[in-house]
Amino acid sequence: MRRSRNRCYVRIFALTGMFCICIGLRAAAVAVAVAAENVSRPGEYSGYSEALYNGDVRHSQYITMRDGTELAVDVYRPTLDGVVVEAPLSVVWMHSPYNRRYYPASGPHLTVDLYPGAARGLIKYGYVVAVVDARGLYASFGRAVGYNRGEWMPSAFWDAYDITEWFAAQPWSDGKIGMWGCSATGETQLQAAAADPPHLEAVFPMSCAGDFWGTGSGVGSNAQEGLPSPEFPYWAPYNDIASPVDDDPKGVKKAAARQEQNAGSEIGYVPYRDSVSPWVQEILGLDVRWNMDSSPHTHFDLIERSGVAMYSTANWEDTGGTRWGPIIRYKNLSNPAQMLLGPGGHCIWYTDYSPKPYPVTFRIVNEEHRWFDYWLKGIDNGIMDEPPSTCSPTIMRPAASGALPGNGRCPMKSGSITTWGPNSTTARPRASTTAA
């Protein structure tokens, strides 16, 4: 009997032990699963912000600037089972000289799908995404100067401010505004930061120069000396392929915009850094030192004063100016920052809408998602606790010494790029902003 009871105890103890082991293993498995779900590192992001919506809807309209000029905007809002989400959400927008609706400009692909950054990928996570035709281009009214760098000109300088604040005031907006885009639409983000709208929290400028004159961007003489100004700027006919806004189905207002666009100005002969544009002077009566006034570095004091958080990216195969633009900004600005240098060409990144072969496999929308979740939604995903830059032909994190595993050394001054510049985790106090 005692032996039988002992066997019973042994069995009970064995079963109890097995139960405890199973519980322990299950708890460990759950812990591992939870840990596996929460991933936040360059190019990878899961567990912090899940997809909430399964569609989107677009509407378009004109936004009126402080001087009365109307700019066309496309706004994409999330839907759930076909119903538009009414809850206020953060807005990420692009200020574009390249057609707000389609990319390439003649179609058929939507800009939010195919333009570098592909921000439509953010909508399902609870973002509103928008694209605006820049002043004097496509469906927008006004006169453009220099086509894709005219945002620095006096007539357009405050447009990004007014657009950002318009977004912040909409009932579907929570007042947290960010910007996305590459090349010229990266530079429009820098210009927006210089204007310092109070609700602009973070930007994600990709492959845009810091100094157009001094970094091999090919700026200088874009016409022969003495040539007369053209009858109308070369971009005015782009109005023909622009998309009218919703309340202008026949394009009557769009056609009216063309009349103002015809009065825009190209640059003419500007052979030196401080050359004044002869055509802008003739047509608009403005003394514009084009190579200086349209270079972001000229406005670094305003950009820095804004305190806007900035994630700058470029690629090794970018042209000289756009390749070094992120480094120039990172080294010279104290804004909260991260930086990424990838292996592709100009604005070439992997997205779900435009997959690329190895080594261009870094998912840039994941990185946008991490950045905007942190700065617009307040999600502590650790992005600002990471080393302040990623720099490698294959997107590998540099070692503390600056050596890149299997890829030699990062060809930057001072060894490790992780030591370059500040990496503040909190925004600086915002400068007071007044309309000018």
Q: Which of 5-19, 194-208, 286-300 has the highest mean pLDDT?
A: 194-208
pLDDT at residue 413, as a whole number: 39
pLDDT at residue 403, as a whole number: 37
**Average per-residue pLDDT for the chain:** 83
Distance CA 202, CA 371 (A): 8
Nearest C-alpha neighbor of 179 from the set 200, 194, 152, 199? 200
Instruction: Say yes or no to pLDDT of 12 above 50.
Output: no
Burial (CB count within 10 angstroms: exposed 0-12, middle 13-18, buried 19+), residue 123: buried
Lowest mean pLDDT among 7-11, 197-201, 226-230, 309-313: 7-11
| Mean pLDDT value across residues 207-229 | 70
pLDDT at residue 411, as a whole number: 41
pLDDT at residue 178, as a whole number: 98
Which pTM value belongs to this model? 0.83
Instruction: Say yes or no to pLDDT of 367 above 90.
Output: yes
pLDDT at residue 185, as a whole number: 97
Instruction: Say yes or no to pLDDT of 135 above 60.
Output: yes
Token pair of 92 as six digits: 């990420």
Q: Which of 205-214, 274-283, 322-331, 394-403 has the highest mean pLDDT?
A: 274-283
Q: Tens of pLDDT along 390-407?
A: 654 444 333 344 333 333
pLDDT at residue 331, as a whole number: 87
Lowest mean pLDDT among 55-69, 86-100, 320-334: 320-334
Instruction: Say yes or no to pLDDT of 371 above 60.
Output: yes
pLDDT at residue 214, as a whole number: 57
Q: Tens of pLDDT along 242-281?
A: 999 999 999 999 999 999 999 999 999 988 889 999 999 9
Lowest mean pLDDT among 16-20, 42-46, 108-112: 16-20
| Mean pLDDT value across residues 158-162 | 98
55-212+294-419 CATH: 3.40.50.1820
Domains of the chain, residue spans: 2-37, 55-212+294-419
pLDDT at residue 36, as a whole number: 53
pLDDT at residue 434, as a whole number: 37
CB–CB of 225/34 below 8 Å? no
CB–CB of 38/221 below 8 Å? no
Q: Tens of pLDDT along 414-428?
A: 333 322 222 333 333
Distance CA 331, CA 300 (A): 11
pLDDT at residue 359, as a whole number: 83
CB–CB of 229/266 below 8 Å? yes
| Mean pLDDT value across residues 380-387 | 94
Q: Name the pLDDT band for 212 (thresholds 50, 70, 90).
A: confident
pLDDT at residue 390, as a whole number: 66
Distance CA 159, CA 132 (A): 10
* More confident call, 341 vs 389: 341
What is the b/e burial string over 246-271, where b = at least 16 CB atoms within 10 angstroms of the residue's CB?
A: eebeebebbeebbebbeebbbbbbbe
- Three-state secondary structure along the chain? CHHHHHHHHHHHHHHHHHHHHHHHHHHHHHHHHHHHHCEEECCEEECCCCCCCCEEEEEEEEEECCCCCEEEEEEEEEEECCEECCCCEEEEEEEECCCCCECCCCCCCEHHHHCCCCHHHHHHHCEEEEEEECCCCCCCCCCCECCCCHHHCCCCCCHHHHHHHHHHHCCCEEEEEEEEEECHHHHHHHHHHHHCCCCEEEEEEECCCCCCCCCCCCCCCCCCCCCCCCCCCCCHHHHHHCCCCCCCCCCHHHHHHHHHHCCCECCCCCCCCCCECHHHHHHHCCCCEHHHHCCHHHHHHHHHHHCCEEEEEEECCCCHHHHHHHHHHHHHCCCCEEEEEECCCCCCCECCCCCCCCCCCCEHHHHHHHHHHHHHCCCCCCHHHCCCEEECCCCCCCCCCCEECCCEECCCCCCCHHHCCCCCCCCCCCCCCCCC
Token pair of 163 as six digits: 């657009």
Q: Phi/psi zone of residue 138: left (φ > 0), alpha (ψ -120 to 50 degrees), beta?
A: left
pLDDT at residue 48, as a whole number: 97
% of the chain beyond a pLDDT of 90: 67
Rounded (5°) CA angle 241-246-251: 45
pLDDT at residue 11, as a whole number: 36
% of the chain beyond a pLDDT of 70: 79
